[in-house]
Amino acid sequence: MAVELTGPVALNLPTDEVFLTTEEVLAYLQVNLRTVYRLIKAGKIPAVRVGRQWRFRKRDIDNWLNSQRAQSGSALAEAAPARHGRSRVLVVDDEASIRDLLSKTLALAEYDVETASDAATALSRVRTSEYDLLIADLRMPGMDGLTLIRQVKGIRADLPVIIITGYSSETSAIEAVNLGVAGYLRKPFRVPEVLSAAAKALGAPAV
Protein backbone atom coordinates (compact mmCIF):
# COMPACT_ATOMS: atom_id res chain seq x y z
CA MET A 1 0.00 0.00 0.00
CA ALA A 2 1.45 3.36 -1.04
CA VAL A 3 1.93 5.99 1.66
CA GLU A 4 2.33 9.68 0.89
CA LEU A 5 5.24 11.04 2.90
CA THR A 6 5.73 14.52 1.49
CA GLY A 7 3.85 17.80 1.20
CA PRO A 8 2.65 20.53 3.61
CA VAL A 9 0.19 19.62 6.35
CA ALA A 10 -1.37 21.45 9.29
CA LEU A 11 0.11 20.10 12.52
CA ASN A 12 -1.66 19.64 15.86
CA LEU A 13 1.17 18.07 17.83
CA PRO A 14 2.44 18.60 21.41
CA THR A 15 4.47 21.79 21.65
CA ASP A 16 6.95 20.25 24.10
CA GLU A 17 8.07 17.69 21.51
CA VAL A 18 10.46 18.18 18.60
CA PHE A 19 9.00 16.66 15.44
CA LEU A 20 10.75 16.16 12.13
CA THR A 21 9.24 16.12 8.67
CA THR A 22 10.04 13.30 6.28
CA GLU A 23 12.52 15.50 4.43
CA GLU A 24 14.24 16.40 7.70
CA VAL A 25 14.47 12.72 8.67
CA LEU A 26 16.04 11.87 5.32
CA ALA A 27 18.67 14.56 5.88
CA TYR A 28 19.20 13.65 9.55
CA LEU A 29 19.62 9.92 8.94
CA GLN A 30 21.36 10.34 5.56
CA VAL A 31 19.28 7.60 3.94
CA ASN A 32 16.81 7.43 1.06
CA LEU A 33 13.02 7.45 1.23
CA ARG A 34 12.78 3.71 0.54
CA THR A 35 14.89 2.93 3.62
CA VAL A 36 12.81 5.22 5.85
CA TYR A 37 9.59 3.67 4.53
CA ARG A 38 10.97 0.19 5.23
CA LEU A 39 11.86 1.19 8.80
CA ILE A 40 8.41 2.68 9.36
CA LYS A 41 6.67 -0.47 8.10
CA ALA A 42 8.90 -2.60 10.32
CA GLY A 43 8.00 -0.44 13.32
CA LYS A 44 11.64 0.44 13.99
CA ILE A 45 11.16 4.19 13.68
CA PRO A 46 8.08 5.40 15.58
CA ALA A 47 6.02 7.80 13.48
CA VAL A 48 2.95 9.94 14.08
CA ARG A 49 0.31 9.95 11.36
CA VAL A 50 -1.08 13.44 10.65
CA GLY A 51 -3.67 13.27 7.91
CA ARG A 52 -1.95 11.56 4.99
CA GLN A 53 1.53 12.46 6.23
CA TRP A 54 4.06 11.20 8.77
CA ARG A 55 5.83 13.17 11.48
CA PHE A 56 8.68 11.77 13.56
CA ARG A 57 9.61 12.50 17.17
CA LYS A 58 13.30 13.38 17.18
CA ARG A 59 13.83 11.81 20.57
CA ASP A 60 12.39 8.51 19.29
CA ILE A 61 14.82 8.51 16.37
CA ASP A 62 17.76 9.38 18.63
CA ASN A 63 16.79 6.66 21.09
CA TRP A 64 16.55 4.15 18.25
CA LEU A 65 19.97 5.13 16.91
CA ASN A 66 21.50 4.75 20.37
CA SER A 67 19.91 1.32 20.72
CA GLN A 68 21.29 0.32 17.33
CA ARG A 69 24.80 1.19 18.48
CA ALA A 70 24.50 -0.89 21.63
CA GLN A 71 26.41 -4.17 21.60
CA SER A 72 23.76 -6.03 23.56
CA GLY A 73 21.05 -8.43 22.49
CA SER A 74 18.23 -5.91 22.36
CA ALA A 75 14.78 -6.37 20.89
CA LEU A 76 15.83 -4.28 17.92
CA ALA A 77 18.66 -6.65 17.17
CA GLU A 78 16.29 -9.59 17.35
CA ALA A 79 13.91 -7.85 14.95
CA ALA A 80 16.66 -7.09 12.42
CA PRO A 81 16.48 -8.76 9.03
CA ALA A 82 18.25 -12.13 9.00
CA ARG A 83 21.74 -11.97 7.54
CA HIS A 84 23.52 -14.80 9.36
CA GLY A 85 24.03 -12.58 12.41
CA ARG A 86 24.87 -8.89 12.73
CA SER A 87 28.18 -7.98 11.12
CA ARG A 88 30.66 -6.06 13.27
CA VAL A 89 32.26 -3.06 11.63
CA LEU A 90 35.19 -0.96 12.85
CA VAL A 91 35.29 2.59 11.48
CA VAL A 92 38.50 4.60 11.83
CA ASP A 93 38.71 8.26 10.83
CA ASP A 94 40.30 11.26 12.52
CA GLU A 95 37.24 13.42 11.71
CA ALA A 96 34.51 13.05 14.34
CA SER A 97 31.79 14.13 11.89
CA ILE A 98 32.76 11.36 9.45
CA ARG A 99 32.89 8.75 12.22
CA ASP A 100 29.46 9.81 13.44
CA LEU A 101 27.93 9.77 9.96
CA LEU A 102 29.34 6.34 9.13
CA SER A 103 28.31 4.93 12.50
CA LYS A 104 24.77 6.26 12.11
CA THR A 105 24.50 5.09 8.51
CA LEU A 106 25.76 1.57 9.19
CA ALA A 107 23.64 1.22 12.34
CA LEU A 108 20.57 1.96 10.23
CA ALA A 109 21.58 -0.92 7.97
CA GLU A 110 21.66 -3.24 11.02
CA TYR A 111 25.45 -3.41 11.50
CA ASP A 112 27.11 -3.38 14.92
CA VAL A 113 29.54 -0.46 14.71
CA GLU A 114 32.57 0.62 16.72
CA THR A 115 34.70 3.66 15.96
CA ALA A 116 38.31 4.73 16.46
CA SER A 117 39.82 8.18 15.97
CA ASP A 118 43.25 6.96 14.87
CA ALA A 119 44.92 4.00 13.21
CA ALA A 120 46.89 2.94 16.30
CA THR A 121 43.67 2.52 18.30
CA ALA A 122 42.06 0.64 15.44
CA LEU A 123 45.03 -1.71 15.16
CA SER A 124 44.89 -2.44 18.88
CA ARG A 125 41.20 -3.33 18.61
CA VAL A 126 41.77 -5.60 15.64
CA ARG A 127 44.35 -7.48 17.71
CA THR A 128 41.93 -8.05 20.60
CA SER A 129 38.47 -8.20 18.98
CA GLU A 130 36.76 -9.90 16.05
CA TYR A 131 35.42 -7.69 13.26
CA ASP A 132 33.81 -8.52 9.95
CA LEU A 133 34.76 -5.29 8.18
CA LEU A 134 37.20 -2.40 8.60
CA ILE A 135 36.45 1.03 7.10
CA ALA A 136 39.44 3.35 7.31
CA ASP A 137 40.34 6.83 6.16
CA LEU A 138 43.35 6.86 3.86
CA ARG A 139 45.04 9.92 5.35
CA MET A 140 45.25 10.32 9.11
CA PRO A 141 47.81 11.88 11.45
CA GLY A 142 50.46 9.40 12.56
CA MET A 143 49.81 6.02 11.00
CA ASP A 144 47.97 6.44 7.69
CA GLY A 145 45.36 4.16 6.19
CA LEU A 146 47.71 2.22 3.93
CA THR A 147 50.06 1.45 6.82
CA LEU A 148 47.07 0.37 8.89
CA ILE A 149 45.97 -2.02 6.14
CA ARG A 150 49.41 -3.60 5.95
CA GLN A 151 49.44 -4.14 9.72
CA VAL A 152 45.87 -5.44 9.79
CA LYS A 153 46.49 -7.88 6.95
CA GLY A 154 49.37 -9.31 8.96
CA ILE A 155 46.91 -10.04 11.77
CA ARG A 156 43.73 -10.86 9.85
CA ALA A 157 44.51 -11.50 6.20
CA ASP A 158 40.84 -12.30 5.50
CA LEU A 159 39.40 -9.10 7.04
CA PRO A 160 37.68 -7.02 4.32
CA VAL A 161 38.79 -3.38 4.24
CA ILE A 162 37.17 -0.33 2.68
CA ILE A 163 39.27 2.80 2.23
CA ILE A 164 37.66 6.25 2.38
CA THR A 165 39.64 9.32 1.41
CA GLY A 166 39.15 12.97 0.57
CA TYR A 167 42.18 12.94 -1.68
CA SER A 168 42.28 11.64 -5.23
CA SER A 169 45.51 9.73 -5.62
CA GLU A 170 45.91 7.10 -8.32
CA THR A 171 49.12 5.85 -6.70
CA SER A 172 47.40 5.35 -3.35
CA ALA A 173 44.44 3.68 -5.04
CA ILE A 174 46.69 1.23 -6.86
CA GLU A 175 48.61 0.45 -3.68
CA ALA A 176 45.36 -0.06 -1.77
CA VAL A 177 44.09 -2.44 -4.46
CA ASN A 178 47.39 -4.34 -4.34
CA LEU A 179 46.90 -4.70 -0.60
CA GLY A 180 43.56 -6.35 -1.26
CA VAL A 181 41.03 -3.72 -0.18
CA ALA A 182 37.40 -4.58 -0.83
CA GLY A 183 36.29 -1.02 -1.63
CA TYR A 184 37.62 2.45 -2.32
CA LEU A 185 35.37 5.50 -1.81
CA ARG A 186 36.12 9.21 -2.06
CA LYS A 187 34.73 11.99 0.13
CA PRO A 188 32.27 13.52 -0.13
CA PHE A 189 30.59 10.15 -0.37
CA ARG A 190 26.92 9.28 -0.74
CA VAL A 191 25.34 7.05 1.87
CA PRO A 192 24.08 4.48 -0.67
CA GLU A 193 27.65 4.10 -1.95
CA VAL A 194 28.92 3.28 1.53
CA LEU A 195 26.14 0.78 2.20
CA SER A 196 26.63 -0.83 -1.19
CA ALA A 197 30.39 -1.12 -0.65
CA ALA A 198 29.88 -2.61 2.83
CA ALA A 199 27.36 -5.15 1.56
CA LYS A 200 29.62 -6.10 -1.34
CA ALA A 201 32.67 -6.48 0.92
CA LEU A 202 30.70 -8.80 3.18
CA GLY A 203 29.18 -10.73 0.31
CA ALA A 204 25.65 -9.59 1.13
CA PRO A 205 22.94 -7.98 -1.03
CA ALA A 206 23.32 -4.19 -1.27
CA VAL A 207 21.07 -2.11 0.98
Quote the CA–CA distance of 35 and 153 in Å, as a whole number. 34
pLDDT at residue 114 in the model: 95
Q: Do 97 and 34 share a structural domain? A: no
Q: What is the pLDDT of residues 13-33, one digit of tens each?
A: 444 567 777 777 777 766 666
Domain ranges, residue 25 = 19-66
Q: Do 125 and 197 share a structural domain? A: yes
CA dihedral sign, ordered 74, 77, 78, 79: positive
Q: Which residue has the higher pLDDT, 52 or 74?
A: 52
- Do the beta carbons of residue 207 and residue 47 sit within 8 Å? no
Percent of the chain with pLDDT over 70: 69
Q: Do 126 and 47 share a structural domain? A: no
Residue 202, pLDDT > 90, answer no
pLDDT band at 76 (very low <50, low <70, confident <90, very high): very low
The dihedral over CA atoms of 122, 188, 157, 154, expressed in degrees to the nearest 10, equals -50
Residue 128 is assigned to a structural domain of this protein: yes
Residue 146, pLDDT > 90, answer no
Residue 168 is assigned to a structural domain of this protein: yes
If one counts the domains in the chain, the total is: 2
**36-40, 165-169, 181-185: segment of lowest average pLDDT:** 165-169
The helix/strand/coil state of 69 is helix
